[in-house]
A and B are shown apart, each in its own frame.
Chain A
Amino acid sequence: AQTVTQSQPEMSVQEAETVTLSCTYDTSESDYYLFWYKQPPSRQMILVIRQEAYKQQNATENRFSVNFQKAAKSFSLKISDSQLGDAAMYFCAYRSRTGNQFYFGTGTSLTVIP
């Protein structure tokens, strides 16, 4: 079974600084998708960024970018110029191309310090 591991239960960053959240996963498949979701106190799951495994280029969405290392099965999220509104739980998720479900990590709680 696929597993997703987030080894940092909590992280903090100064406003305007950069922070990196770690994620590793275990799979025997070669074709899959990886995602980062943000969950603010409202509990709404908000898609931050996604990466398709067959693409070597790292995905970027404005201040959010990923470092995808397929061989190492690593998928970290970098948040640049952190803002107060970035404070939330961040979940890493995996989905195989042929599967029905997402597999989520246990989350990293990000605090942004003014």
Chain B
Amino acid sequence: NAGVMQNPRHLVRRRGQEARLRCSPMKGHSHVYWYRQLPEEGLKFMVYLQKENIIDESGMPKERFSAEFPKEGPSILRIQQVVRGDSAAYFCASSPTQTSYEQYFGPGTRLTVT
């Protein structure tokens, strides 16, 4: 049973470009969470999605960031017009239900903005 998959593992973008980060949850999981880890910090919640719905985006910056979890395919975290401050590790986690106490984390995508 494959775990949470994220790709790419490393992504380099120039300022002003777009970054697309993908997350495939564990088989049977329909709840996806995105977290951001800035250097020397813990993970910070960004957004929680179920299939085709954004449930909680309270941690998502209001501009340039968006997320989706379509009926088919992976969840996508999209960052438009990236800036140096977006450089971070972005982690995806999944759970089978909303009430599951545990979230299973992917290996993360390391975004570097040059």
Q: Which residues of A contact B (CB under 8 A)?
A: 4, 33, 35, 37, 42-45, 47, 50, 52, 91, 93, 95, 97, 100-107
Report B-chain residues with C-beta under 8 Å of the C-beta of A102. 33, 35, 43, 45, 93, 103
Nearest neighbor of A99 in chain B, beta-carbon distance = B56
Q: Which of B63-71, B75-83, B104-112 contacts A (4 or more CB under 8 A)?
A: B104-112
Tell me whether B89 is interfacial, beta carbon within 8 Å: yes
Nearest neighbor of A46 in chain B, beta-carbon distance = B105
Q: Interface 1/0s, chain B 19-56, versus A by CB < 8 A?
A: 00000000000000101000011111100100000011
Tell me whether B18 is interfacial, beta carbon within 8 Å: no
Report B-chain residues with C-beta under 8 Å of the C-beta of A105. 42
Q: Is the CB of A50 within 8 A of B102?
A: yes
Nearest neighbor of A47 in chain B, beta-carbon distance = B102
Report B-chain residues with C-beta under 8 Å of the C-beta of A42. 107
Q: Is the CB of B56 within 8 A of A100?
A: yes
Given contacts A100-B33, A102-B45, A107-B42, whether A45 and B91 have CB atoms under 8 Å apart is yes
The distance in angstroms between the C-alpha atoms of A45 and B56, with both chains bound, is 22
Looking at the assembled complex, report how far the CB atom of B20 sits from the nearest CB atom of chain A, in whole angstroms.
19
The 10 A-B pairs with the shortest beta carbon distances in the complex, nearest first, are: A104-B42, A101-B45, A45-B105, A100-B48, A104-B43, A33-B101, A100-B56, A44-B107, A106-B42, A43-B108
Q: Is the CB of B102 within 8 A of A101?
A: no
User: Contacting A100 at CB < 8 Å: which of B42, B55, B89?
Assistant: B55
Q: Is the CB of B101 within 8 A of A97?
A: yes
Looking at the assembled complex, report how far the CB atom of B57 sits from the nearest CB atom of chain A, in whole angstroms.
10
Given contacts A42-B107, A43-B108, A45-B91, whether A104 and B101 have CB atoms under 8 Å apart is no
